Chains A and B, each alone.
Chain A
Amino acid sequence: MAEVLVYVDHVDGAVRKPTLELLTLARRIGDPVAVHLGAGADSAAATLAEYGAVKVLAADAPEFADYLVVPKVDALQAAYEAVSPAAVLVPSSAEGKEIAARLALRIGAGIITDAVDLEAGDSGPVATQSVFAAAFTTRSRVTKGTPVITVKPNSAAPEAAPAAGQVEQLPVTFGEKSTGTKVVSRTPRESTGRPELTEAAIVVSGGRGVNGAENFSVIENLADALGAAVGASRAAVDAGWYPHTHQVGQTGKSVSPQLYIAAGISGAIQHRAGMQTSKTIVAVNKDEEAPIFDLVDYGVVGDLFEVLPKLTEEVKARKG
């Protein structure tokens, strides 16, 4: 069977969930070969093998952390040349998309970004995308070269399918352009202890209606009762009430959880772009005309400061 390269997103060998989804999708097309760059390949290998990696190509070098994007492209290209895969799959993070695009150009291949599903087709993988703020669903193919496809988080449920997952060292020669952009310093983001926004099964988001940074605890308390991640609209982020990393929407994160709860959010098209594909949508808003109500499975017209605290108590009581 043909092999499919899967670019591994990890933190020092701790494999992030979107990669497990990618491995699961890759198996529909061929045998996944994982590409692990940076430290921790040995500890990642067990997880990668459990989810179907027949092989793990590993490379570690200071260049990956010290310079932006290009060293990783050099390495992924080396893996591509070593394996001659049927497709290359990369997680749809900002960096993942940049790596994928540069690789595609180098190998003379077409690129599809932000796929939300992937199937094998008669003439190569068929990618489903959600476009125009999720108003349309398209199905596309790469028609030239080895398909390079980036896939959004939450596009498939990870399924274990144990495979060998042997670690092999990948020799990489860095091109002269690889050191063009220096990473002068890096400050890792502090963990909130809550689930990752793009990976969470439940997201509770607050908007302008939350009316102040100090009030965001109302959102956080409900999120914690539900075991959810916290999101925010751009209005809330621009006002400085919540960090930009939590913004949901066109210029923030796209989320597609099982349950999305929007509180004090009107539902502008740019916000919808990032949450419209959620399975179940709930809104609490005091304006019954708010466009968010066009999307909901369940809506409460009311004051979020009344409804949310009570709901938090209900959830806690029912969960015991």
Chain B
Amino acid sequence: MEIIMIILASILFATAVYNLLQKQFLRIIIGTALLSHGAHLFILTMGKLKRGAPPVLDEGVANYADPLPQALILTSIVISFGVTSLLLVLAYRAYKLNKTDNMEELRGAENE
């Protein structure tokens, strides 16, 4: 199970990097979103996937799921959600002012 999850995470990473290297704003932003999904899946896998009882410590509970990765992912999802929405607004404003959504044309001149 862990192996399949890791392969899935690596596919997400690969597509994310491919999208990040594109020139259009929107593709790049989709790339960052995919990257965060890959990272979150990765955290979940790293905490070892287990079938068993919820992490409530009680007598006789031996095989419980690790709660920490889930807490980490929740925090990280909220952060990446906020950053993605900020990026979308920023990209929209940059597009309106610079009249282009092509990164290649946004290199800038010397000594501004």
* A in complex with B: no
